[in-house]
Amino acid sequence: MSAPAVEVRQLVKSYGSRRAVDEVSWSLAAGRLLALLGTNGAGKTTTIETCEGFRRPDAGSVRVLGLDPIADSRALRPRVGVMLQDGVGGYTAARAAELLELFAGYARHPLDARWLLERVGLAEVARTPVKRLSGGEQQRLSLALALVGRPELVFLDEPTTGMDPRARRTTWELIRQLRSDGVTVVLTTHYLDEAEELADDVIVMNAGRIVAQGSPSELTRGGTAEGRITFTAPPGLPLSDLVAALPGTARAQETAPGQYLITAPVTPDLLAAVTTWCARRNVLAEGLNVGRRSLEDVFLSLTSTTTDEVAADLETAPATSRRRAAR
């Protein structure tokens, strides 16, 4: 079997007395797309920056395309594309085409800059200074900068932030094409529908540790991701009586007046029990819908509702200067 494109073993990274990443291990096969998810301060940014070579681990090891991101950075850099969270950095006076052609000049076999600008939807603003581009346009330019060198592996940090729906969908198609072409992709995003739409593999981090991993379908259909039944009926139904009539450990709640949600592994017996209970009470369950939980439902159930703002600042702030210097 071929070596993983990315392999993280027992990674530890601390800031003062706090462990931002606490013995995290995962691997990613070549040609697959991994979505790394987590709230602010969960440790995902530190993990990715360690894989990119911007941070040195306190313990554990990281291998990217079989190489050490720091010790082998010179050999690794031409093979990896990085889309930074802070966009295009300090190159705000350059025109979009000039900047992309500059980065193309660093690569041995670059993509054609003008073709790539058209592919990311920036052909019409090719001669516009970067500082005059919208936030979404700067994001698309940052994506082009990560791809112009024909990388084997790309790290995409919040790639569609600030994009309008059309640009977002175009970017999704481009990311899908990368995967089809055999490029390995590591994606961080706060858009859970984006992860569910694009990812082969998902890792959810919370408080520096991995709390779930698997494919989107595994996470949404597994034990932590129950199905759901929703329906509309008169408000104020006796939910304790309903739960008592349902099999297993089903839960019921009135999410809004007259809007009901039942969460449990959905089986024919559960559905029959719901409709039978409603029929016996002469309740018409309108708009009854059966479905599985979304990745967003899973994410919210796995992660804390509180955010350590100090930890988030510690995780992200020091990286800005390092990233810009590295570029």
pLDDT band at 67 (very low <50, low <70, confident <90, very high): very high
For residues 142 and 81, is the Cβ–Cβ distance under 8 A? no
CATH 3.30.70.1560 fits 226-292, yes or no: yes
One-letter amino acid of 36: L
pLDDT of residue 1: 53
pLDDT band at 222 (very low <50, low <70, confident <90, very high): low
pLDDT band at 317 (very low <50, low <70, confident <90, very high): very low
Evaluate if residue 322 carries a pLDDT over 50: no
* Higher pLDDT pick, 122 / 323: 122
Evaluate if residue 271 carries a pLDDT over 50: yes
Q: Which of 66, 324, 320, 34 is nearest to 205 (CA)?
A: 34
pLDDT of residue 313: 42
Distance CA 67, CA 324 (A): 22
From the centroid of its chain, how far is CA 244?
39
Distance CA 279, CA 272 (A): 10
Distance CA 57, CA 14 (A): 9
Distance CA 231, CA 316 (A): 43
Evaluate if residue 234 carries a pLDDT over 50: yes
So where are the chain's domains?
6-220+301-326, 226-292
Q: Which of 322, 310, 246 is nearest to 277 (CA)?
A: 246
Q: Which of 176, 149, 184 is nearest to 4 (CA)?
A: 184
User: Which pTM does this prediction carry?
Assistant: 0.76
Q: Which of 40, 65, 41, 35 is nearest to 53 (CA)?
A: 65
Evaluate if residue 69 carries a pLDDT over 50: yes
pLDDT band at 320 (very low <50, low <70, confident <90, very high): very low
Q: What is the mean pLDDT of the chain?
A: 88
Could you tell me the strand order of the sheet in which 33-38 lies? Answer: 80-83, 153-157, 184-188, 33-38, 201-206, 209-214
Q: How large a percentage of the chain has pLDDT more than 90?
A: 73
Among 136-150, 266-280, 291-305, where is mean pLDDT lowest?
291-305
Helix, strand or coil for residue 143? Answer: helix
Evaluate if residue 323 carries a pLDDT over 60: no
Q: Which of 186, 149, 212 is nearest to 64 (CA)?
A: 186
- Of the ranges 90-94, 155-159, 314-318, the best mean pLDDT one: 155-159
Q: Which of 302, 315, 323 is nearest to 18 (CA)?
A: 315
Residues 316-323: what's their mean pLDDT? 46
Evaluate if residue 295 carries a pLDDT over 90: no
- Overall fold of domain 6-220+301-326: Rossmann fold (3.40.50)
Q: Which of 207, 183, 184, 191 is nearest to 296 (CA)?
A: 191
- H helix runs in 161-229, sequence order: 165-180, 192-198, 216-221
pLDDT of residue 302: 85
- HSE toward the beta carbon, residue 87, CA cutoff 13 A: 21
- H helix runs in 201-250, sequence order: 216-221, 239-245
Residues 53-78: what's their mean pLDDT? 96
Tokens coding 166? 């059309």
> CB count, 10 Å around CB of 280?
9
For residues 275 and 268, is the Cβ–Cβ distance under 8 A? no
Instruction: Specify whether the backbone of 154 is left (phi greater than 0), alpha (psi in -120 to 50) or beta.
Output: beta
